[in-house]
């Protein structure tokens, strides 16, 4: 075990995942710090590496290093880092480390900072800290400027929504070959008006195996990205990305969504509510349910007391029926209606067949997973508790799919 004198921890960071993927500096930083430790007779007891932005405090590995120095290895009071902007880019990080009373070696800058450091060294360190903070703020401004410029060109500068994916090679957004079908199915199912968001969630899981939260389904249905637009910085832009949801389908789904959000005032259906006007004062004639089963209509009396007497729903239905008796529908119109109904029935049969096929494929997938998991259990590749938990989930999903096929 190393002593307090020769124990040190190493911290390395790159500012983005792209830099890490390109091999920008992590390995170079670690080699520099390891060589430095070897030359100075220190033993490195822990290494912490962050591959993420440092625009805000709270980096995962930085936080773990702080906790490490606080609790796990209190005798270790030395940190090795390449330079100031690798360790922190905001004042809060600097204060956090100052409170720990540690000695920090900035190897490339040839500076050692601690509570006993000379005033000149502390001044240079503070200047470097301010410059690092300014660099971070400027970088953030440039990034935001670039994102807004990209939005103006019609390219969404954020993470692609469900059904799409980010193409990192050419920095565009493209249609996801698998999830796009699920996204379209979400719109189709909900536009039918037969599903609440909770029921939609279950149907999507049954058909596709995708587990999507109720709140995210709501987000998907509202997102104009699917019809070629997107919102960035509070402004709506016309996107250049390809779409796979028609405007009609999007509008139908949103019409149902907004309809579902409205309060339901009644359980009993009043046939002519909102369709009648009073002949005396042109006010609306409203319907009311009496004694739980009788519907009476009356003038709202918005313009004062009205002479229209109350009347039963059966009375107006009978009178309208007399009017409709004399209406004749030409044979060619009837033929067109019949043909339209026949086409609709054929379309529904095709949709049912397609849905049954999707459910059948999903059922086969679930059963393959069950068979594979059983083989892995026999081979000792998975523990018993994992097997029991997953098998319960799969059995439940299998029953749901079979029930849906039987409908």
For 117-138, write each residue's pLDDT tens digit: 888 888 888 888 788 777 777 7
Q: Are 29 and 143 members of one domain?
A: yes
**Could you tell me if 140 and 171 lie in one domain?**
no
User: Same domain for 119 and 184?
Assistant: no
- Lowest-pLDDT range of 81-85, 350-354, 403-407: 403-407
Statement to judge: residues 33 and 140 lie in one domain:
yes
The pLDDT of 322-341, averaged and rounded, is 84
Nearest in space to 244 (alpha carbons), one of 231, 225, 217: 225
pLDDT of 243: 94
Q: Is the pLDDT of residue 80 over 80?
A: yes
Mean pLDDT of 236-261: 86
pLDDT at 60: 82
Domain boundary among 147, 177, 210: 147
Measure the CA–CA gap between 404 and 133, rounded to whole angstroms.
58
Nearest residue to 210 (alpha-carbon basis) of 391, 358, 354: 358
pTM given for the model? 0.46
Q: Which of 76-90, 236-250, 268-282 has the highest mean pLDDT?
A: 236-250
Q: Are residues 107 and 233 in the same domain?
A: no
Does a structural domain hold residue 248? Answer: yes
Write the CA distances from 312 to 252, 282, 319, integer angstroms: 35, 19, 11
Same domain for 244 and 364? Answer: no
- Structure confidence at residue 129 (pLDDT): 79
Q: DSSP class of residue 283?
A: P
According to the per-residue pLDDT averaged within each range, which of 30-34, 51-55, 74-78 is highest?
30-34
Q: What does the pLDDT read at residue 57?
A: 42
| CATH number of the domain encompassing residue 249 | 3.90.1750.20
Asked if the model's pLDDT at residue 298 lies above 70, the reply is: yes
Domain that holds residue 288: 276-325
Backbone angles phi, psi at 4, to 5 degrees: -65, -25
How is residue 224 annotated by DSSP? G
Do 302 and 346 belong together in one domain?
no
Which region among 87-91, 172-176, 280-284, 335-339 has the lowest average model confidence (pLDDT)? Answer: 87-91
Instruction: Say whether both 18 and 113 belong to one domain.
Output: yes
CA terminus-to-terminus distance, the chain = 69
Q: How far is CA 391 from the centre of its chain?
A: 28
The model's confidence at residue 238, banded by pLDDT at 50, 70 and 90, is: very high
SS3 state at 173: strand
Distance CA 17, CA 24 (A): 10
Residues 15 and 110 in one domain: yes
Could you tell me if 141 and 175 lie in one domain?
A: no
Asked if 254 contacts 221 with a C-beta cutoff of 8 angstroms, the reply is yes
Claim to verify: residue 69 and residue 191 sit in the same structural domain: no
Q: How many domains does the chain have?
A: 4
Query: pLDDT band at 3, cuts 50/70/90?
Result: very low
State the chain's mean pLDDT as an integer.
Answer: 82
């Amino acid at each position: 075990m190393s002593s307090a004198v020769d124990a040190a921890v190493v911290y390395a960071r790159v500012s983005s995942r792209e830099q890490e993927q390109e091999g920008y500096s992590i390995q170079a930083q670690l080699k520099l710090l390891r060589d430095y430790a070897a030359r100075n007779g220190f033993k490195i007891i822990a290494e912490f590496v962050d591959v993420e932005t440092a625009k805000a405090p709270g980096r995962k590995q930085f936080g773990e290093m702080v906790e490490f120095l606080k609790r796990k290895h209190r005798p270790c009071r030395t940190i090795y880092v390449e330079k100031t902007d690798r360790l922190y880019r905001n004042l809060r990080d600097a204060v956090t480390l100052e409170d720990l009373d540690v000695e920090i070696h900035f190897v490339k800058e040839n500076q050692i900072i601690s509570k006993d450091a000379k005033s000149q060294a502390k001044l240079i360190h503070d200047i470097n800290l301010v410059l690092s903070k300014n660099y971070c703020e400027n970088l953030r401004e440039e990034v935001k400027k670039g994102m807004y410029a990209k939005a103006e060109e019609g390219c969404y500068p954020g993470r692609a929504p469900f059904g799409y994916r980010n193409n990192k090679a050419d920095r565009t957004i493209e249609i996801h070959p698998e999830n796009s079908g699920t996204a379209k199915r979400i719109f189709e199912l909900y536009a039918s008006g037969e599903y609440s968001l909770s029921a939609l969630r279950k149907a999507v899981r049954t058909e596709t195996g995708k587990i999507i939260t109720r709140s995210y389904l709501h987000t998907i249905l509202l997102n104009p990205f699917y019809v070629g637009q997107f919102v960035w910085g509070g402004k709506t832009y016309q996107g250049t990305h390809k779409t796979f949801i028609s405007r009609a389908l999007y509008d139908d789904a949103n019409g149902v969504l907004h309809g579902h959000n409205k309060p339901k005032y009644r359980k009993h259906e009043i046939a002519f509510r909102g369709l009648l006007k009073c002949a005396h004062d042109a006010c609306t004639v409203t319907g009311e349910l009496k004694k739980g089963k009788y519907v009476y209509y009356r003038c709202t009396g918005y313009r004062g007391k009205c002479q229209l007497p109350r009347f039963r729903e059966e009375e107006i239905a009978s009178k309208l029926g007399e009017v409709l008796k004399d209406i004749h529908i030409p044979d060619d119109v009837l033929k067109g209606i019949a043909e339209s109904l026949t086409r609709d029935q054929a379309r529904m049969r095709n949709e049912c067949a397609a849905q049954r096929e999707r459910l059948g494929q999903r059922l086969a997938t679930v059963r393959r997973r069950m068979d594979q998991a059983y083989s892995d259990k026999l081979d000792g590749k998975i523990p018993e508790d994992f097997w029991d938990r997953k098998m319960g989930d799969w059995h439940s999903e299998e029953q749901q799919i079979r029930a849906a096929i039987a409908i």
